[in-house]
Structure 1
Amino acid sequence: MASLIQALAVAEYLNFHHAAQALGISQSSVSARIRALEEELGITLFERNTRGVRLTEAGRHFVDGIAAGVDQLDHAVKTASLAASGDCGRLCIGLHGLIPGSFLDGLLARYRAKYPGILVEMVEGTARDAIMQLRAHRIDVAFLVGRFDLPDCHSRPIWTEPLVAALSSNHRLAAQQGVTWSDLVGETFLARHGGTGPQVHDHLLLRLAGRWPPPSIQRFDVERGTLLSIVAQGFGITILGAANGLFPMNGVVFLPITDEPEPVVFSAVWLPQNRSASLRNLLALATEMGRRSTQPQDCRLP
């Protein structure tokens, strides 16, 4: 490599003395190395004379080739350095969904502003889908509802949101400031198969266990917006995190569940062997934002 760099310098200055000065080494060292390179290649790269040197035709082709190679090597070194610091590369994130104005929306906006060289990709699905994708190394991290204690994954609670009930604006409870679980006994609940649907289903069974009549839960293979449209039509009600209220929908009201004992926890889940600097930077930013945030400010209801 030293021989190639010195050959490039001589080709640029067409003078051994000036090339040596630019490289900060002796002229004799440059001359000796170029001569050894020519002997090894079996070709003459430079024609020497009293006024300096000039490239031979073979030398011109050789220098053009190594100049392109050195540029590629320099680019590879710089790119590797940026990737090692988390300033460039790719990061794939699993999530239940993205709501404008939510904590996760703000996190991704800040991360992309701070690390514009990172290509951020997102995959939406259930917690089960995301864990499978993590284990298959298809995504780098997942932000999911709940706390996780998995033997092969790291996890960390990042932020919380109050739990709210979404009801049609024509519902008998719609004019109240809030509802209790007792108020919701006998209601028809709606849940998705995807996204947070499985957690919603399990949470309803937990909170309404032993109550009469038992909960009626209908499952739909639809997106969040479609489910809320079904709620607006009066087919039933659903429960979700308060951030959903930041993206209001006509005909739907969001009421806090006042006797819910704790807010909804959202956690980051990732594989311990993933030592990507871009992932490390995202988790650090998420933890910092989680410490600073106060949930009533993050998730105000309309």
Structure 2
Amino acid sequence: MRRKKMKSASTDRLLELRAGRIPMVSLVQTLAVAEYLSFHRAAKALGTSQSSVSARIRALEEELGIVLFDRNTRGVRLTKAGHRFVDQVEDAMNILDHAIKTAGMQARGEEGELRVGVHALISGTFLDRLLERFHAEYPNIRLHLAEGTAREAQIMVRESQLDVAFMAGAHEIPDLNSRVIWRDALTVALSATHPLAQRENVDWEQLTDETFLVRHGGTGPQVHDTIVQRSTGKWPAPTILRHDVGREALLSMIAIGHGISLFAQENEVAASAKVAFLPIRDEPETIPFSAVWSPGNRNPALTKLLSLAADGGPSRTIA
């Protein structure tokens, strides 16, 4: 009940200000006189006349029913009530100034939140460097990251749980916007002790007798489809085993010889010496990575991120 009364009182005071009974200029001049302890110096600093400042503050004192300043031949000093009033006005002005600045920053996409879905985030890779540059340029925007499959990410974008999702592949989704942001070469990852590991590159046909390991999550579904597409009509489909593991666990399985898999070339930067990454010489395409977002999303921070990516991202080839 007390909170409602306080809120009502605050609203009443705001209505008084809006109605012009206590002009904002009177408050500004009061703060200036409190700072300089002189009507003359305050007026000079504000670029107005001393008589105008004196008259406004006198009218304010009459409106409030209190004396803010003691005047005498030696100068001006705040009364006890004046000290309290000036302190509270300064606090209110700071709050108002902060509200104006932050509202403008949020409208310009310089402050706020951005929820980003990723297929994986590996230190040193394109996406990691893009988000790092974004944070450096817009430090007041809080990034919230979520990792999942492309299907999960699309659902979350539709339900406004994510502002944007980065995923492998080029996507044409009727109700969502999509743009290819960067591309990378496709490589095969195999154990450093594998017979092919010492080669400079391999052909797809050399991989037909291998066991491919793919993840259920992350980019696993896209990797599975790529393996099937490359073998269709050319040679028997290789063995493909799906595992419900993360990227690091999959690389560990490859390192000890359980099978091989496909990765974007940039994954090599975070891999151990026990895993070799070889280019596939007859692979016809690079891997596209896309940003997907809702056409109804009006988050200005999203526009900032997409513009940064289109402008060159973290100094790597942008599609």
Deviation at 1:147, TM superposition (A): 1.4
- 1:23 and 1:37 map into 2 onto residues whose CA distance is 18
Superposed CA RMSD in Å reads 2.6
For the residue of structure 2 that corresponds to 1:234, the secondary structure is coil
Tell me the alpha carbon deviations over residues 99-123 of structure 1, each in whole angstroms, 9 at most, x when there is no partner: 2332223323333333344433322
Paired residues for 1:286-301 under 5 Å: 286-289=309-312, 293-294=316-317
Question: 186-195 or 81-90: which moved more?
Answer: 81-90
- 1:123 and 1:114 map into 2 onto residues whose CA distance is 21
Deviation at 1:19, TM superposition (A): 1.8
| 1:163–1:75 distance in 2 versus 1, CA, 3 Å | same
Question: 44-53 or 215-224: which moved more?
Answer: 44-53
Paired residues for 1:206-285 under 5 Å: 206-210=229-233, 213-285=236-308
- 1:55 and 1:35 map into 2 onto residues whose CA distance is 14
Give the structure 2 partner of residue 72 of structure 1. Answer: 95
Paired residues for 1:88-237 under 5 Å: 88-210=111-233, 213-237=236-260
| 1:277–1:50 distance in 2 versus 1, CA, 3 Å | same
- 2:277 and 2:312 map into 1 onto residues whose CA distance is 25
- 2:309 and 2:296 map into 1 onto residues whose CA distance is 19
1:60 equivalent to 2:45? Answer no
| 1:290–1:87 distance in 2 versus 1, CA, 3 Å | closer
| 1:152–1:16 distance in 2 versus 1, CA, 3 Å | farther
* 8 A contact 2:211–2:240 mirrored in 1: yes
Query: How many residue pairs get matched?
Result: 295
**Amino acid in the other structure paired with 1:19:** A
- 2:248 and 2:276 map into 1 onto residues whose CA distance is 14
Deviation at 1:263, TM superposition (A): 0.4
Tell me the alpha carbon deviations over residues 189-217 of structure 1, each in whole angstroms, 9 at most, x when there is no partner: 21112211121122223223345543432
Tell me the alpha carbon deviations over residues 21-59 of structure 1, each in whole angstroms, 9 at most, x when there is no partner: 221123333233223322332333233444443322222
For the residue of structure 2 that corresponds to 1:289, the secondary structure is coil
1:4 equivalent to 2:47? Answer no
Return the TM-score normalized by structure 1: 0.85
For the residue of structure 2 that corresponds to 1:8, the secondary structure is helix
Question: 48-57 or 218-227: which moved more?
Answer: 48-57
Return the TM-score normalized by structure 2: 0.81
Q: Return 5+ residue gaps in structure 1 as ranges.
A: 296-302
- 1:234 and 1:152 map into 2 onto residues whose CA distance is 43
* 8 A contact 1:186–1:212 mirrored in 2: no
For the residue of structure 2 that corresponds to 1:182, the secondary structure is helix
For the residue of structure 2 that corresponds to 1:250, the secondary structure is coil
Give the structure 2 partner of residue 299 of structure 1. Answer: none
Question: 114-123 or 61-70: which moved more?
Answer: 114-123
- 1:118 and 1:13 map into 2 onto residues whose CA distance is 38
- 1:116 and 1:92 map into 2 onto residues whose CA distance is 15
* 8 A contact 2:133–2:314 mirrored in 1: no
**Amino acid in the other structure paired with 1:133:** M
Q: Return 5+ residue gaps in structure 2 as ranges.
A: 1-23
- 2:49 and 2:160 map into 1 onto residues whose CA distance is 52
Match of 1:27 among 42, 45, 50: 50
Deviation at 1:70, TM superposition (A): 1.0
* 8 A contact 1:90–1:118 mirrored in 2: yes
* 8 A contact 1:107–1:289 mirrored in 2: no
**Amino acid in the other structure paired with 2:88:** G
